[in-house]
C-alpha cells in the first residue's frame, strides 16, 4: 500500500523567491486523507501540519528542503520543485502485540510510560526558547456555529521543559500578536473565556502535569494527572510502529471505573482512555491521544511532537469538547494550535500572562499580515463556518465588525448613547431589541421583571437582544447593581444613559422600570396589550419573530 501527497505551488512573491506550497495528504488506494502530518523546512524550525482533511499550506523560500513525517510512515525529503508533483510516503508495517511477544521479551507497558515521563528533560528542550503558534477555535450550539477565532500566539519558556507546570502561564510568558474573530453568537457567549489558549496548551502532556494526588479524573481541568496518579491507570502494550525512522511503542491506558453515591443514585465519575506513542530507544513521547467522558460530556485531546536538531517540540495540539444537556441542546468546541517557528534568541524573552478581553480588544488588526501568514489550512467545514457566521462576509470583514461591536457593548458607562445608536443600526434586519429602562431604586418586583427579560434573552437569543438602559446618574451605584444582579450574564448588554438622556425622551419614558420592544427595523413595537410600564409579553415576541421570518 502506498500513500501520496499532491502539492500545488503558487508563486506569491517572486522578488524574494517565496512560494506558497499547498497540498493534501491522501491514501493512494482509498483517497482518504492523512491528517496531522508534520511538514517542516529542513535546517529551520519553521513548519506546519496537515489538517483533518490532510491539507496544508506553507510559505517557503528557495532553495528549500522539506521533510514530511507522520507516525506510521517513512519520512520523506523533498529538495526540488520537480519532485513536488507526487510524493509517495511509504507506510510502515504495524506489528501487533501478539506478533511481537513471540520475537522479543515481554514488554512492561507501565514501566515504559514511567520511563517516558521521567525522561522529558532528556528528550525535550530545557533551554529558554520562544515558540510561535497559529491558533484556531470554533464553537457551535446544536447545529448552529456561533464563534470563530484565529490568532498567532507566542509562548516564551524561560526554563524550557525543565519540570512540568500545573497550569499555562505558571512560569512562561504568553501573548497574542495577531487576532481576528467573528462575533460570539453562542448561548455561552458571556461565560466563554475570551480565548482558550490555556486549555489547548494543556494538551501538552510533557509540559503540564498535576502535582497533587487526586486518585480520580478532574473532567473540567484539562491538565493531565497521569504522572501523579499513575496507579489510578492500567496500561496495555498494543503494537510497535515507526515515526521518523525510529521504532515507537503504542501504549494504551485507561482510568479506573468509579462512581459516587448521590441523592438520585450512583453517578459514574469521569473516565479517561488514551494512547501514548513512545520511542523504543529514548522513550520520547511523540504523540499522545486521550478521551475523557463524564455523563453526556466528552473531551478529546491529541498532541504531536517532532524533532528539531536533537530535541522534540510540540507541533500540533487538538482539543474537542462536546456537551449534551437535559433539554436536548448541545454545545461543541474545537481548538487547534500549530507550531510555525521556534527561536532561541534571549532577546525574544518577554513576560506576559494569558490575555483577557480588554487586552485582546487592543490588538491592532493587520490585514496584510494575514494574507501571507502560514496558517493551518481551513477545511471545507471551516470555510462553511466562516460563511455562516458572517453571512457571506470574509473573516477579515467579520473581524472589523467584531471590533466595532465590542466597542459598542463594552464599558457601558461611557459614550453610551453613541454606542446604543450604533448597536441599533447594526441590528436592523437582524434581531429584535428588547429595551429595559431601570435605575438603582429597582425594588423586588422590578428585579423579578429584569430576570424575566434575561430569561427571554436565553430563550430567543437568535432573534432577540436584551439591552438594559439605566437612567442612574451615579456610575458607582449603577456598576454595583449590575454586578450584584449579574446583568452581564447571558449576552445582556448594559448602558448607563443617565436621567437626562435623549434616548429616554425619544421613547417617552416617564418612570422605571419601562419596557420597549424594537422590531427588526429598529422601530417601537406597538401592541394593544402592552403598556411601556409592563414587561413585554412573550406572545408579542413570538408574533414579531414569526412575522419577520
The pLDDT of residue 10: 38
- φ, ψ dihedrals at 177, nearest 5°: -100, -30
Please say if the pLDDT value at position 367 is more than 50. Answer: yes
Is it the case that residue 407 has pLDDT exceeding 90? no
Contact in structure between 17 and 62 (CB atoms under 8 Å): yes
Domain 411-547 has CATH 3.30.420.310: no
Lookup result for grid cell 429597582: 442
The top-scoring range by mean pLDDT among 250-264, 320-334, 522-536 is: 320-334
- Taking the C-alpha atoms of residue 162 and residue 127, their distance in angstroms, rounded to an integer, is 8
Q: CA-to-CA distance for 390 and 396, rounded, in angstroms?
A: 10
Q: How far is CA 443 from CA 151, 435, 438, in A?
A: 45, 18, 10
Place 182 in a pLDDT band, splitting at 50, 70 and 90.
Answer: confident
CB atoms within 10 A of CB 387: 14
Locus of grid cell 434581531: 431
pLDDT-wise least confident of 266-280, 355-369, 460-474:
355-369
CA dist 415 and 408 (Å) reads 9
Residue 212's Cα: distance from chain center in Å? 27
CA distance readout (Å), 549 to 297, 418, 429, 546: 34, 29, 11, 5
As a whole number, the mean pLDDT across the chain is 84
Q: Quick: pLDDT tens for 475-534.
A: 888 888 888 887 766 678 899 999 989 998 898 888 899 999 998 888 888 764 456 778
Distances (CA, A) of 331 to 41, 320, 530: 38, 11, 36
Superfamily of domain 3-91: Carboxypeptidase-like, regulatory domain (2.60.40.1120)
Per-residue confidence (pLDDT) for residue 284, from 0 to 100: 97
Distance CA 202, CA 229 (A): 17
**Strand-strand pairing, 464-470 and 95-96:** unpaired
Question: Does the predicted TM-score (pTM) go above 0.75?
Answer: yes
Instruction: Look at residue 246 and tell me whether its pLDDT is greater than 50.
Output: yes
| Per-residue cell: 533 | 410600564
Question: Which is it for strands 464-470 and 493-496: parallel, antiparallel or unpaired?
Answer: parallel
pLDDT band at 85 (very low <50, low <70, confident <90, very high): low
Torsional sign, CA 50, 56, 57, 62: positive
The Cα–Cα gap between 526 and 271 comes to 54
Query: Taking Cα atoms as reference points, which of 11, 7, 3 lies closest to residue 85?
Result: 7
- Is the separation of the CB atoms in 453 and 538 below 8 Å? no
Interatomic CA distance for residues 336 and 133, integer angstroms: 10
pLDDT in the model for residue 151:
95
What's the confidence (pLDDT) of residue 249?
Answer: 96
DSSP state of 33: B
Closest CA to 151 of 346, 370, 348: 370
Nearest to 252 by CA among 147, 113, 124: 113
Give the model confidence (pLDDT) of 211-228 as tens digits. 988 878 888 888 999 999
Q: Are 268 and 297 in contact (CB under 8 A)?
A: no
| Cβ pair 347, 338 in contact under 8 A | no
Residue 355 DSSP one-character state: P
269 close to 260: Cβ distance less than 8 angstroms? yes
pLDDT digits (tens, 9 = 90+) for 268-289: 889 999 999 999 999 999 999 9
- What is the phi/psi pair of residue 368, to 5°? -65, -35
Give the CA dihedral 537, 541, 547, 549, nearest 10 degrees.
-160
Cα dihedral 352/490/534/543 (nearest 10) = 130
User: For the chain, what are the domain ranges?
Assistant: 3-91, 106-230+310-401, 411-547
Q: How many CB atoms lie within 10 A of CB 50?
A: 27
Task: Report pLDDT for 184.
Answer: 76
Cell of 273: 482512555
Residue 262 pLDDT class (50, 70, 90 cuts): low
Helix, coil or strand: residue 248: strand
Paired strand residues for 308: 311
Q: Report pLDDT digits (tens) over 422-453.
A: 999 988 888 899 999 998 888 899 999 988 99
- d(C-alpha 183, C-alpha 121), whole Å: 42
* Per-residue pLDDT at 530: 53
Amino acid at each position: 500500500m502506498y500513500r501520496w501527497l499532491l502539492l500545488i505551488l503558487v508563486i506569491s512573491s517572486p522578488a524574494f523567491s517565496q512560494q506558497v506550497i499547498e497540498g493534501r495528504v491522501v491514501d493512494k488506494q482509498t483517497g482518504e486523507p492523512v491528517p496531522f502530518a508534520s511538514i517542516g523546512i529542513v535546517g529551520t524550525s519553521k513548519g506546519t501540519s496537515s489538517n483533518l482533511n490532510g491539507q496544508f499550506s506553507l510559505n517557503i523560500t528557495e532553495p528549500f528542503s522539506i521533510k514530511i513525517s507522520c507516525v506510521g510512515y517513512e519520512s520523506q525529503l523533498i529538495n526540488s520543485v520537480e519532485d513536488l508533483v507526487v510524493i509517495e510516503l511509504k507506510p510502515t508495517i504495524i506489528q501487533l502485540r501478539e506478533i511481537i511477544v513471540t520475537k522479543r521479551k515481554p514488554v512492561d507497558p507501565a514501566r515504559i510510560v514511567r520511563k517516558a515521563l521521567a525522561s522529558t528533560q532528556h528528550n525535550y528542550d530545557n533551554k529558554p526558547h520562544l515558540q510561535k503558534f497559529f491558533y484556531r477555535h470554533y464553537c457551535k450550539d446544536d447545529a448552529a456555529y456561533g464563534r470563530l477565532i484565529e490568532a498567532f500566539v507566542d509562548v516564551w519558556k524561560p526554563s524550557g521543559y525543565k519540570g512540568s507546570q500545573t497550569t499555562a502561564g505558571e512560569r512562561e510568558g504568553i501573548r497574542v500578536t495577531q487576532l481576528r474573530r467573528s462575533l460570539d453568537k453562542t448561548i455561552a457567549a458571556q461565560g466563554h473565556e475570551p480565548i482558550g489558549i490555556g486549555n489547548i496548551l494543556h494538551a501538552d502532556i510533557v509540559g503540564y502535569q498535576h502535582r497533587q494526588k487526586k486518585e480520580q479524573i478532574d473532567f473540567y481541568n484539562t491538565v493531565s494527572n497521569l504522572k501523579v496518579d499513575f496507579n489510578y491507570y492500567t496500561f496495555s502494550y498494543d503494537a510497535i510502529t515507526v515515526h521518523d525512522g525510529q521504532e515507537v511503542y503504542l501504549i494504551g491506558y485507561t482510568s479506573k471505573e468509579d462512581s459516587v453515591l448521590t441523592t438520585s443514585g450512583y453517578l459514574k465519575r469521569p473516565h479517561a482512555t488514551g494512547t501514548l506513542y513512545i520511542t523504543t530507544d529514548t522513550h520520547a513521547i511523540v504523540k499522545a491521544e486521550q478521551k475523557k467522558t463524564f455523563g453526556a460530556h466528552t473531551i478529546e485531546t491529541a498532541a504531536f511532537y517532532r524533532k528539531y536538531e536533537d530535541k522534540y517540540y510540540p507541533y500540533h495540539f487538538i482539543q474537542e469538547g462536546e456537551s449534551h444537556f437535559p433539554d436536548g441542546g448541545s454545545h461543541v468546541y474545537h481548538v487547534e494550535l500549530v507550531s510555525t517557528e521556534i527561536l532561541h534568541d534571549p532577546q525574544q524573552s518577554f513576560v506576559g500572562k494569558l490575555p483577557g478581553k480588554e487586552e485582546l480588544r487592543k490588538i491592532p488588526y493587520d490585514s496584510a499580515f494575514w494574507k501571507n501568514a502560514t496558517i493551518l489550512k481551513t477545511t471545507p467545514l471551516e470555510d462553511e463556518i466562516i460563511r455562516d457566521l458572517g453571512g457571506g462576509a470574509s473573516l477579515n470583514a467579520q473581524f472589523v465588525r467584531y471590533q466595532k461591536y465590542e466597542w459598542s457593548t463594552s464599558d457601558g458607562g461611557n459614550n453610551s448613547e453613541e454606542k446604543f445608536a450604533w448597536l441599533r443600526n447594526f441590528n436592523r434586519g437582524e434581531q429584535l431589541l428588547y429595551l429595559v429602562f431601570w435605575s438603582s431604586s429597582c425594588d423586588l418586583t422590578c428585579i423579578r421583571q429584569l430576570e424575566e427579560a434575561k430569561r427571554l434573552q436565553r430563550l430567543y437569543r437568535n432573534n432577540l437582544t436584551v439591552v438594559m438602559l439605566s437612567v442612574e446618574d451615579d456610575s458607582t451605584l449603577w456598576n454595583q447593581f449590575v454586578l450584584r444582579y449579574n446583568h452581564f450574564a447571558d449576552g445582556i448588554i448594559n448602558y448607563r444613559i443617565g436621567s437626562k438622556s435623549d434616548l429616554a425622551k425619544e421613547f417617552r419614558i416617564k418612570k422605571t422600570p419601562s419596557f420597549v420592544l424594537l422590531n427588526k427595523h429598529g422601530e417601537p413595537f406597538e401592541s394593544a396589550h402592552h403598556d411601556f410600564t409592563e414587561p413585554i409579553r412573550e406572545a408579542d415576541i413570538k408574533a414579531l419573530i414569526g412575522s419577520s421570518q
